[in-house]
Amino acid sequence: MKQEYQDLILQVCGASSLCVGAKIQTLWSGYGEIVRLHLEGCDRPSVVVKHVKFPEDAQHPGGWNTDHSHRRKVRSYQVETHWYQNYSTNQSCRIPACLAACSYGDEMLIVLEDLDEAGYNRRRTSVKDREIKACISWLAHFHAQFLGVAPEGLWPVGTYWHLETRPDELEAMDNAELKAAAGDIDKILNDCSFKTIVHGDAKLANFCFSQSGEDVAAVDFQYVGGGCGMKDVVYFLGSCMEEKECEKRVPGLLDYYFTELKLSVKKDVDFAALEKEWREMFAFAWTDFHRFLLGWMPGHWKINRYSKQLTREVLQKLKQ
């Protein structure tokens, strides 16, 4: 790590020295890395640094190395920097505190609170009911906090699979009926009366759990932006449950989401109208992500019977 970056981190943390620790992960397509730095001489034992460096030759796991792809990723890191610098959440939808964020030519640096030290030191690849509900509660409180808030400086429409940002994947789709309906589905979601700010990549891997699993914090805000809260909900549920589980458990988990949302929204919100609209958007939001997967990775495990059934229902509604 360059000396100027180290000097910045020492300054903002009030530390006397630092030691570069383990690499937490490499960023998607080789666009940098996330590392933990250990500090001395201050009240923070460590910080987490997201160090973005735009590569000359990006290597996308799925082979999507296009100008569209590169521009989207560059914009995503700009959005994430703006998010951490200008937005904050309450304890019910915990995120890491941003200590510093800056750009140096084709490199960007975001210095974040180490959530492990804050008690969110567990990661999950599979979850039980308690952890699922903790994440759903996080999403409900997040959507409630930003209900009606304009996504200034963020993506006008959040999520990494938003149709306008995915022309290559749409072109690659074989499903002609869904391909033709993609624009209508996108418009229906975008024309919601009730909009919030969505996390945009609310998969299980982006939640950090407390030891008990009852408390969570979320990370990775590259695709945060405006939209219907159902987009986050369907993406999260699809990230941690297979088709049989979805068929069995989604209705009850949706009920739980709306119970938590009702507890969190301001009293002047017409909650009955909000719930009615967003419940109607559930299948559209699920189908919208299914559309992306069909073009991006047709063999993906999430392309299952449950997703196909919801897609059929949506396509049938569009014909009525």
On whether residue 25 sits in a domain, the answer given is yes
> Residue 73 belongs to a domain with what CATH number?
3.30.200.20
Per-residue pLDDT at 29:
80
Integer angstrom CA distances of residue 243 from 48, 63, 302: 35, 27, 8
Report pLDDT digits (tens) over 228-273: 999 999 999 999 999 999 999 999 999 999 999 999 999 999 999 9
List the domain range (segments joined by +) for residue 21.
3-113
For residues 165 and 314, membership in a common domain is answered with: yes
Which tokens is 231 given?
A: 């987009």
For residues 240 and 100, membership in a common domain is answered with: no
The conformation of residue 118, written as its DSSP 8-state character, comes to T
Residue 67's pLDDT band, with cuts at 50, 70 and 90, is confident
On whether residue 274 sits in a domain, the answer given is yes
Quick check: helix, strand or coil at residue 68?
Answer: helix
For residues 142 and 84, membership in a common domain is answered with: no
71, 88, 113: which is the final residue of a domain? 113
On whether residue 120 sits in a domain, the answer given is no
DSSP string, 131-180: HHHHHHHHHHHHHHHTTT---TTSBSS-STT-GGG-HHHHHH---HHHHH
On whether residue 238 sits in a domain, the answer given is yes
For residues 146 and 242, membership in a common domain is answered with: yes
On whether residue 300 sits in a domain, the answer given is yes
65, 91, 113: which is the final residue of a domain? 113
Q: How many CB atoms lie within 10 A of CB 130?
A: 11
The C-alpha atoms of residue 317 and residue 320 are separated, in whole angstroms, by 5
Task: Over range 148-160, report the average pLDDT.
Answer: 98
For residues 149 and 202, membership in a common domain is answered with: yes
For residues 102 and 174, membership in a common domain is answered with: no
Report pLDDT digits (tens) over 77-127: 999 999 999 999 999 999 999 999 988 888 999 999 999 999 999 999 999
Which residues, including other chains, have CB under 8 Å from residue 94's CB and lie 6 or more apart? 120, 138, 215, 216, 217, 218
For residues 202 and 272, membership in a common domain is answered with: yes
Please determine, for residue 64, whether its predicted confidence score (pLDDT) is greater than 80: no
On whether residue 131 sits in a domain, the answer given is yes
84, 113, 142: which is the final residue of a domain? 113
Quick check: helix, strand or coil at residue 25?
Answer: strand
Report pLDDT digits (tens) over 158-211: 999 999 999 999 999 999 999 999 999 999 999 999 999 999 999 999 999 999
Report pLDDT digits (tens) over 50-59: 999 987 765 5
Per-residue pLDDT at 241:
94
For residues 291 and 157, membership in a common domain is answered with: yes
Q: Which residue is listed with tokens 């033709």?
A: 180
On whether residue 271 sits in a domain, the answer given is yes
Per-residue pLDDT at 66:
65
Mean pLDDT of the chain: 94
Calculate ∠ Cα 237-310-255, nearest 5°.
Answer: 45
For residues 157 and 90, membership in a common domain is answered with: no
For residues 191 and 278, membership in a common domain is answered with: yes
Per-residue pLDDT at 61:
47
On whether residue 121 sits in a domain, the answer given is no
For the chain, give the percent of residues with pLDDT over 70.
97
For residues 133 and 106, membership in a common domain is answered with: no
Query: What are φ and ψ of residue 197, in 5° steps?
Result: -105, 130
Please determine, for residue 139, whether its predicted confidence score (pLDDT) is greater than 50: yes
> Residue 235 belongs to a domain with what CATH number?
3.90.1200.10
* Total structural domains within the chain: 2
Query: What are φ and ψ of residue 199, in 5° steps?
Result: -60, -45
For residues 107 and 237, membership in a common domain is answered with: no
